[in-house]
Amino acid sequence: MKRSKRRLALVVGLFLVLFLGLVLYLVFFQLVKAPDLRANALNMRNWVDETHFGRGRFYDRNGQELVGREKGEDGTYYRYANHPNMYSHIIGYHSAQYGKTGLEKALNQELLNLSGDNPIAALRGSVLNEGTGNDAVLTIDNDLQYCAYSAMEGHKGAAIAMDVKTGEILAMVSLPSFNVNDVDERWNELVEDEGDVLFPRATLGRYTPGSVIKPITALALLSQGVDLQYEDKGETTVDGKRYTNAGEAAYGDIGLKEALMHSSNVYFIDKTKNMDPSVLRQAMESVGFNQELPFLLPTAISTADYKEGMDVNLKVSNSFGQGDVLVTPLQMAVAYAAFANGGKVLEPHIVQHFLTPAGEEVKRAKPTVVHQISPSYAAILREDLVATGETIGLDEALGQRAGRKTGTAETANNSTNAWTIGFAPADDPKVVVCVVMEDDGRSGAEAAMPVVAEILSQALAAQE
């Protein structure tokens, strides 16, 4: 009898524990997770007869309509993209069959004007009243976006133009692209495309950087106060492995400025071979490496895995942009913007503000500093990069002094990623442009620099 009572008490206790767990689980979702779940673009409840709701439009910074809507005679809304290929990796697509990507997904809550304690009920009420959502005004300059897209057309890769003082993205292109207006009809073709047309290279592409990494390595040298002078003989050996400069060129007695101007590999190899990896890691992380870059669209993490006890040849290879260091174009634009603006590592943003259905401007973005590097180091690197810009034609192409660094990164398939990052004007930088041409086979100066010059020239003209 006592055993039966104990068993009954055990069963009742277990039932109470399970019941309490279920209650806590439901409370957690109701109080903690519910707002995120309601706003999630994958939540099918947010699709409640959306065809009768005026989903928000997209505009560029100058008021040009990028994505619009029309209302048919039957009361349903038709959504269209005015530049269906040019913004496929920024605004993305909005498909009843395959969901949403890009800003269509990230801004779903604002575009549907979901607000209040019960946003689904609010949405249903809006639908019944044939309501409209908030419009998004982007930081993008459509004319500059067209310039970047045209300059990159026919190449794989990415181009980004960013305001160095605010973090505003003025243009951002990933190629190859696709037409967002016919995603439903061509879905299988797009998914199977060998060029990975659905992949946003500017934000998720991770590339071997080559020499564009050297100014960040230089931060480590400056922070340690090492002797920056060096006799460049064109080659050096580390732990039995021989390294050379491009073309085995020797530059003689040089300092950091000349090392960047001539893009000396052996300079950075010999200066970092005895350096504690934690110092190099700290320099990389000071501009955002090894951590998630805050941005409205998904981004990959740029990595520089410097760690104690690492192989010395991997360490020195990383220092000049080979090894296993991998970067996104957006991260590199952010880093060089910090060199140009006096050391402020800014959060990049792509939405300027929203417009309510009543035309009221809300949620205007403000510059946000996420890291701060030494202003004195930033000033040194800006000066050195301006000196570098004078050596290979960027100044001549722009008609004014500018800063720049090129990179020619060797890839696993015996090709190259061709890089150039430039900023101007030299004395008061306003815009930074980063271009990478994936598996291009040419040098950064030959392939990417003319594109940077073209984009940078138009960006500066637009700000005059």
Q: What mean pLDDT is predicted for residues 335-352?
A: 98
Residue 43 has pLDDT above 80, yes or no: no
Residues 352-391 pLDDT 10s? 999 999 889 999 999 999 999 999 999 999 999 999 877 7
Q: What is the pTM of this model?
A: 0.87
- Going by the DSSP 8-state scheme, the letter that residue 399 receives in this structure is T
Segment (H or E) for 125: helix 119-128
Is the model more confident about 263 or about 3?
263
Q: Please, which pLDDT band fits residue 34 given cuts at 50, 70 and 90? A: low
- The answer to which of 38-52, 134-148, 176-190 has the lowest mean pLDDT is 38-52
Q: What mean pLDDT is predicted for residues 159-186?
A: 97
Percent of the chain's residues with pLDDT above 70: 88
What angle, rounded to 10 degrees, do the helices at 277-285 and 312-319 form? 30
Query: How far apart are alpha carbons 234 and 434 in whole angstroms?
Result: 28
Q: In this predicted structure, what is the pLDDT of residue 338?
A: 98
Residues 283-335 pLDDT 10s? 999 999 999 999 999 999 999 999 999 999 999 999 999 999 999 999 999 99
Q: Please, which pLDDT band fits residue 113 given cuts at 50, 70 and 90? A: confident
Q: What mean pLDDT is predicted for residues 122-143?
A: 75
Cis preceding-peptide flag for 176 (omega within 30 of 0): yes
- The answer to which of 50-64, 132-146, 160-174 has the lowest mean pLDDT is 50-64
Residues 45-62 pLDDT 10s? 545 456 778 899 999 999
> What would the two tokens of residue 282 be?
């700290």
- Domains defined for the chain, CATH in brackets: 45-138 (3.90.1310.10), 144-181+194-351+365-463 (3.40.710.10)
Query: How far apart are alpha carbons 299 and 345 in whole angstroms?
Result: 16
